[in-house]
Amino acid sequence: MAIFPEQRKEIIKTFQKHDKDCGSSEVQVALLTERIKNLTEHLKANPKDFLSRRGLMMMVGKRSALLRYLKGEAPASYKGLVEKLGIRK
């Protein structure tokens, strides 16, 4: 369920804007997306885990808010991020 440190560093390196960037909206959305994917797999195997389901819904809401912010502030960056992550159709 958790993201391993090596995996986390790789995601940050892929989506960062500059060398010391580790908390921009793009990085946060990418990390949340990875956590959502992992938790979704967990919930497929454990359908009665309602506390994890609640956590998943909270993460989806947070990612949605970050994407809304990014869409308003930097539409080009938003489009590139959505295509790269494959989260919207």
Rounded Cα–Cα distance for residues 39 and 52 (Å): 8
% of the chain surpassing 70 pLDDT: 98
Whole-structure pTM value: 0.93
Question: What does the block give as tokens for 42?
Answer: 């967990």
pLDDT tens, position by position, 12-28:
999 999 999 989 999 99
Rounded Cα–Cα distance for residues 36 and 27 (Å): 14
Rounded Cα–Cα distance for residues 60 and 7 (Å): 20
Question: What does CATH list as the number for 24-85?
Answer: 1.10.287.10
